[in-house]
Structure 1
Amino acid sequence: MESSTNWAKVILPAMDNFLAIPIVKLTPYLINHKTQAQDFHETVYLKSIRISNAENIKSLPRGLDKLSHLQEIEVNGCPSLVSFEESGLPTTNLKVLSIQYCENFRALPKCINNFTSLGKLKVVYCSDDVSFPEEGFPTNLTLLEISNAPKIYTSLVEWGFNRLTSLQQLDISGEGCSNVVSFPEEWIGMTLPPPLTSIRIRNFNNLEFMCSKGFQHLTSLQELAFINCPKLTSLPEKDMLLSLERLCIWGCPLLEEGVLVKEAHLRVAKFHGAGGHLTRTIPTYGHDTGW
């Protein structure tokens, strides 16, 4: 239905006429450029809301907490968005929450820890002041991606990544984390969640080494990437990476010079130098996934 609907005919004040519509895409052409989007009280069967490039929206639509079927909220490129309405979001069935490139967004829902179905959370290049919810994150997350969120990262370290007991994919970009020299943070003795299969660490300007202890229970880890970490000099000990299949090093010159990849089980190992140019590829077993 998403591909065949003529979205230009959908106007928000009449949304109560679309009781069975599963997906709503909102763009600048579908929003009347007021500072707040219209209500969604009556669209009870709505499953997905995607809002893109709406410059004047300061908060998400009212009544989202009444949408018991809502599973996905994606907001992208809304520079005036600051927070959610106090009425909040539905806590029962929401599976995906993605806020990207909303530079003034600074507050996740206070009760996000109660979102028992939430599996994917992305907070990407929003305000660097966006903070970690007091009650923590829902422990059932399977994917977490954060960028330009030093307060969230610092609080996550203190709260404990290991409490995300279902986490499979972790993508962290370290803008503003100039004090971070190890991952996971060595001083706290933290370990990463055992279900992890993919880790990407990006843009940590002062990161120097991986704390091997933090990787000791990652028996399912298949993909590991380090991108633009100019001071990084070492990987976790190879005994911690026995399940690893794909390794990507990009913009980490000290690591590129010294790292020796001897693990025969690696299917793909790529090293990228300045400007992202591929400088070395370890022969692979099977097909290159392009990762």
Structure 2
Amino acid sequence: MISFTLGALPVLKSLFIEGCINLKSILIAEDVSQKSLPFLRSIKVWDCNELESFPPGGLATPNLIYFAVWKCEKLHSLPEAMNSLAGLQELEIDNLPNLQSFVIDELPNNLQKLSVGSVGGVMWSNEPTWEHLTCLSMLRINGDDMHLTSLQNLEIINAPKLESLPKKGFPSSLSALSVTRCPLLEASLRKKRGKEWRKIAHIPSIVINNELITRVLFGLIHQIIVLSQGSARM
């Protein structure tokens, strides 16, 4: 099978394509190009290394809830107009070494769960904004080639339903974390204990709603001053 046409099964609710080694494209039938596929709720594409593209213009699936793409080595882009999928609640992408871009600003507002694994190309837009993702409750970032090894400052703003941070925490290069208007996450971080705190305890400067809650940075500065004074006396 070289291509699969959405619309060939008009009342299909769930589509799972796995291990189709010759699949190059997913299309939309011409007779439904101006219509939509209202029954389709879930799309999973896994281990299709020849897949290069999705339908031009995006997916005609207004009621899609779940979309996942894993292990598709030649795929260079996600479907167009992702923000038109107003009902999308969960998005998972992983092992896409040739993905050229992934723009946070173009994700649908109602997205609740986002999981991003190993991807290539340009991971984020230059200045991603998260303010529109007001329903996001779970963010998972995984993979060893995420190009985040030099990340130093991170801000999480206005995510009222966000409860947890990435499972593996943040890179050791991160020196400052700011969390603003994220009440559920703030509640667990202010306790300075538990699994969420352990993910960020190594970060020198942590600010919650403009309040510095850790003074590791100042402790390090104090130690440097003491050592310097000791050296001067010698």
Taking structure 2 as the reference length, the TM-score comes to 0.69
Instruction: Check whether the contact 2:103–2:128 (CA below 8 A) recurs between aligned residues.
Output: no
Which residue of structure 1 aligns with residue 227 of structure 2? Answer: none
CA distance in 2, matches of 1:135, 1:154: 9
Which residue of structure 1 aligns with residue 165 of structure 2? Answer: 199
Displacement after TM superposition at 1:193 (Å): 1.6
1:158 correspondence with 2:124: no
Displacement after TM superposition at 1:243 (Å): 9.6
**Larger RCO (CA within 8 A; separation ≥ 6):** 2
Which residue of structure 2 aligns with residue 80 of structure 1? Answer: 50
User: What per-residue deviation string (whole Å, max 9, x for no partner) do you get for residues 191-223 of structure 1?
Assistant: 26221122215496x54236332x24332239x
CA distance in 1, matches of 2:98, 2:172: 19
Which residue of structure 2 aligns with residue 57 of structure 1? Answer: 23
Which residue of structure 1 aligns with residue 107 of structure 2? Answer: 137
Q: In the TM superposition, what are the counterparts of 1:70-109 in structure 2 within 5 Å?
A: 70-86=40-56, 88-109=58-79
SS of structure 2 residue aligned to 1:162? coil
Instruction: Check whether the contact 1:160–1:190 (CA below 8 A) recurs between aligned residues.
Output: no
CA distance in 2, matches of 1:116, 1:180: 34
Alignment counterpart, residue 185 of structure 2, candidates 215, 221, 226: 221
Q: In the TM superposition, what are the counterparts of 1:275-286 in structure 2 within 5 Å?
A: none
Q: Which amino acid aligns with 2:142?
A: S
Q: Where do 5+ consecutive residues of structure 1 fail to align?
A: 1-33, 223-237, 259-291
CA distance in 2, matches of 1:60, 1:244: 47
Which residue of structure 2 aligns with residue 235 of structure 1? Answer: none
Which residue of structure 2 aligns with residue 47 of structure 1? Answer: 13
Q: Which amino acid aligns with 1:41?
A: G
1:241–1:91: structure 2 CA closer, same or farther, 3 Å change rule? Answer: farther
Which residue of structure 1 aligns with residue 3 of structure 2? Answer: 36
Which residue of structure 2 aligns with residue 209 of structure 1? Answer: 174
Displacement after TM superposition at 1:129 (Å): 3.1
SS of structure 1 residue aligned to 2:127? helix
Displacement after TM superposition at 1:151 (Å): 5.2
CA distance in 1, matches of 2:87, 2:193: 29
Which residue of structure 2 aligns with residue 16 of structure 1? Answer: none
CA distance in 2, matches of 1:48, 1:244: 41
Q: Where do 5+ consecutive residues of structure 2 fail to align?
A: 205-234
Give the count of matched residue pairs. Answer: 198
1:139–1:53: structure 2 CA closer, same or farther, 3 Å change rule? Answer: same
Displacement after TM superposition at 1:171 (Å): 0.4
Displacement after TM superposition at 1:248 (Å): 8.7
1:176–1:89: structure 2 CA closer, same or farther, 3 Å change rule? Answer: same
CA distance in 2, matches of 1:172, 1:73: 21
Instruction: Check whether the contact 1:221–1:243 (CA below 8 A) recurs between aligned residues.
Output: no
CA distance in 2, matches of 1:248, 1:210: 15
Instruction: Check whether the contact 2:62–2:86 (CA below 8 A) recurs between aligned residues.
Output: yes
Alignment counterpart, residue 87 of structure 2, candidates 109, 117, 134: 117
SS of structure 2 residue aligned to 1:220? helix
SS of structure 2 residue aligned to 1:221? helix
Which residue of structure 2 aligns with residue 229 of structure 1? Answer: none
Displacement after TM superposition at 1:150 (Å): 5.8
SS of structure 2 residue aligned to 1:196? coil
Instruction: Report % sequence identity.
Output: 23
Instruction: Check whether the contact 1:219–1:243 (CA below 8 A) recurs between aligned residues.
Output: no
